[in-house]
Structure 1
Amino acid sequence: QKYAGVDDLGDLKSATNPNDSTVVITLAQTNPTLLRALSGRLGIVYDSEASDADYAKQAVGSGPFTVGKFTPGQSLTLDYNGGYHGTKAHVGTVTFTQYSDETSLADAVSKGTIDMAAPATATVASQMNGKDGLTVTEGATTDKVLLAFNNNSDSIMSDQNVRTTFRYLIDSAGIAASQSDSSGALGGPISPLEPGYEDLTGLFPHDMSKTQTMTSYFGPYLTTVDLVVTAQWQPMAETIKQQIEQLPRPSVNLEVVSDEEYAKRIQDGTWELTLMSMNGTDDAGTFADPNSIFHYNHAEVQQAYADARAATNDADYAEKMKVYARKLSEDAASNWLYTRKCFTVASTKLSGYPTALIDQRMPLADLTVK
């Protein structure tokens, strides 16, 4: 239990290695996402001689690179591993340096202090676009931006009719089109890179006429909603506030709070609307947990997710996740706005570097330098 994300393995019954080149994993019940879990952190083969390493402070490497030096929160240096049995790296050393702000990162890549910024923000990518000696590339991610609803029983958003009203009221497509980091409107909890994706943007098109009819039904019941965000989401929150307040009711109490206060408010459930991102493959299942921060509790949706988790092959899992996602979106459990894209700014002397999902992984074995 000391390793991050170990729960993604599912109900692990045993793990054995009958010989030097085989590992046998036995589960107590099906886990259709096991292979994806093993393709990430959970699939790392640790050095048995370094099994007691404190990975919060130390780094132990294998594969095409080994760890040369690691300074937590500052830098990581990878060295060429000549003893690696697979395809060997094309470069001898790669050094990662962490930058705390956009200005410092943009300055470093502009001056050539670093050869690549990845992932770069949309702001940095825009500043570097068209500059001599640099290439700006866009890539897909599974990062989903949503206007989340607090479905707890003491929240006005626990009413399915209210949630539906808000989904018609918010111009999700317009918001998605206006964001520099958007790769397109979403409409549901699964991104195009995840199993079970279906374009659900047509379920709740922006419709002021329908919204006016629905809000008149609520009368004085729908008065004020609380929108709690951190500073990074304030511009989008202002847009959403303006869209909601096109109608006489409801009004929006927009609160911009510190990161610390935000974490406490979300955990305590003292909010009704918030803007956030979900950045993980298969994180759609969060909505099937009534104890999650969304407090969404719907027996039919939970059963649909359980059916998907019981799948024993990829095709069946994807099809059942599609059913789950549609039920979840039709019930307006939240308002999924768009999927993010990531940006890479690199020197033109570099090639072979990844451009998709770089917010999660950075395979550099194919990286070459002219």
Structure 2
Amino acid sequence: MRMKKQSSWLRWLLFVAISAALFVIIWVAWSITQHRSIIPGVSTLQSDTTVSVGLRTAPESLDIRTQEGTAVEQALLGNVMETLVTRDQSNTIQPGLASKWTISDDGLHYSFTLNANMRFSNGHTLDANDVVWSLQQGVNEHYLDYDQLTNLTAVENDGANTVNLTLSAPNPQLLRTLSSRAGIVYDSQANPDYAKAPIGSGPFTVSDYQQGSSLTLQRNEQYWRQQAKSSQVTLRYYADDDSLLQAVQHNDIQLALPQTAPDVESLSADPSLCISTGMGTEKVLVAFNSGTDSIFSDEQARKAARFAIDAASIASSRSDARTGTRRTDKPLEPGFEDLTNLFPYSPSTASSMFSYFSSSYLGTATFLVPNEYADLGQTIAQQLQSNSGFTVDMQAADDSTLHTRMQSGDYTLALYTMDGTTDVSAFSSADSVFHYQNGSTQDAYTNALAATNDKDYQDRLNAYANLLSQDAASHWLYVRKDFIIAQSKLDGYTTNMTTHMLPLRDVATR
């Protein structure tokens, strides 16, 4: 009887073992077919989903070292190329290829510790040698944005995982600069065609590039951390917003980023679409020519013009306005402070202040306006003409003409867009397109750049921004918002600063 019981238990154990083995075999086979990890706790991939993204501005080249404009950054940063440090959706500095860093009390020494086991998409190891080589190449070859690495005197590695930077004087913008194209780490052992097929360490590789038309990104199977959720993402470029919106409505693309505000009401009626807005990095302002030959070299004329323009009503009427503002910076910028009420709309105050100038001195104001903002330009021109002694000659122009004329000082006022998260620096020199000069204000900016830590930098930048607004260096109207239109089944996309950064690693359809 005892022998029979033992035999029965053995048969039962054998049955359980065979069943478990069969289950493991079936599970492994299913995991492979679904492109899923077979090891618990390891990053899981979705099946081979593909996503198409619709954009307006195509990069003329993929060589991010030399190609100007934000289109190439939008396509490559965080997707194909990675930087030493990064920025999150709040524009706060975060670890990137460097897992951590230390800064000396005097702000002159930075030490970066790199992540372990990093590699480029071609399989080459990414280590401190590549970081040092990339920074030296950028400075020596004068690649774009490397001029912002001011005061840098030495770049050295201490072993394979540590990079040390030495400065001759503090540069509180250094970390932010290293989160842009100046912080990209390139493969020192490779020489790819950067214009068409750049090599990076990001979650995607470039598999196809049709200049002006499309850019196809393929999942980087060599990626050193969590891999992309979609096996392929294609960026498609459209000539106008109407074509872009039609494409997302027809599901030709699953994500659309129009340049202008879409007809939200009609799109909201479509249950297959999800419409989001994000904080942009672009603001709209009335720029004053403060050169010596312009009336706006006079502080009173600048202030009177600010009282004459109803920025609050303009912002509330514009579908692309995130918030009304008369400040110099915006919530995503260092040193932000809301200065909305500094120059409230007051026609009587404007008229009284302009009355100090003779009509012959006021004369005719040449008002340059981008073609796409012609309607807003008309509104501003009418307000200025009604509340001052100006005759306003509004002239619509393309972006290239507008920039050339502003640079040469061939304008009195201009409706202008500024794009960037530290662009208040444009008022720090009389050589800028605004030709603005004020010794105490510009000394405040120099003082901000001398800060040895981020808190002091933010405080000093705030003081500089206050002086700029109080001196009416320009008339800031509103911050633009980004529009993102997605198929409802799409997940993982970001909404802030999308003209500069469009991380795609987590984007996938459900």
Per the shorter chain, which TM-score range?
Answer: over 0.9
More displaced, 302-311 or 84-93?
Answer: 84-93
Q: Secondary structure at the match of 1:366?
A: coil
Matched, 1:317 2:457: yes
Partner of residue 355 from structure 2, selected from 216, 222, 246: 216
**How much has 1:255 moved relative to structure 2?**
1.1
Partner of residue 226 from structure 1, selected from 338, 360, 366: 366
What is the distance in 1 between the residues matched to 2:249 and 2:442? 50
Matched, 1:63 2:212: no
One-letter code of the match for 1:175? I
Q: 1:182 to 1:248 in 2, by over 3 A?
A: closer
Partner of residue 183 from structure 1, selected from 308, 322, 334: 322
Q: Deviations over 1:3-25 (max 9, x none)?
A: 22112222221222222222222
Partner of residue 4 from structure 1, selected from 138, 141, 144: 144
- Structure 1 match to 2:39: none
Matched, 1:84 2:211: no
One-letter code of the match for 2:236? T
More displaced, 233-242 or 260-269?
Answer: 260-269
- Structure 1 match to 2:243: 104
More displaced, 82-91 or 55-64?
Answer: 55-64
- Structure 2 match to 1:25: 165
- Structure 2 match to 1:283: 423
One-letter code of the match for 1:278? M
More displaced, 321-330 or 72-81?
Answer: 72-81
CA RMSD between the two structures: 1.7
More displaced, 94-103 or 82-91?
Answer: 82-91
Q: 1:75 to 1:65 in 2, by over 3 A?
A: same
| Aligned 1:39-50 pairs, distance under 5 A | 39-50=179-190
**How much has 1:359 moved relative to structure 2?**
1.0
Partner of residue 136 from structure 1, selected from 250, 261, 275: 275
More displaced, 38-47 or 131-140?
Answer: 38-47
Q: Does the aligned pair in 2 maintain the 1:63–1:81 contact within 8 Å?
A: yes
More displaced, 34-43 or 352-361?
Answer: 34-43
What is the distance in 1 between the residues matched to 2:210 and 2:169? 40
More displaced, 7-16 or 160-169?
Answer: 7-16
- Structure 2 match to 1:352: 492
What is the distance in 1 between the residues matched to 2:398 and 2:180? 32
| Unmatched tracts of structure 2, length 5 or more | 1-140
Q: Does the aligned pair in 2 maintain the 1:119–1:359 contact within 8 Å?
A: no
The structure with the larger Rg is 2
One-letter code of the match for 2:146? V
Q: Which of 1 and 2 has higher RCO (CA within 8 Å, sep 6+)?
A: 1
What is the distance in 1 between the residues matched to 2:328 and 2:297? 18
Matched, 1:171 2:171: no
**How much has 1:248 moved relative to structure 2?**
6.1
Q: Does the aligned pair in 1 maintain the 2:407–2:432 contact within 8 Å?
A: no
Q: Does the aligned pair in 1 maintain the 2:248–2:255 contact within 8 Å?
A: yes
Q: Does the aligned pair in 1 maintain the 2:348–2:387 contact within 8 Å?
A: no
Q: Deviations over 1:43-71 (max 9, x none)?
A: 22212233x44534443232222222223
What is the distance in 2 between the residues matched to 1:356 and 1:130? 24
**TM-score, structure 1 normalization:** 0.95
Q: 1:189 to 1:54 in 2, by over 3 A?
A: farther
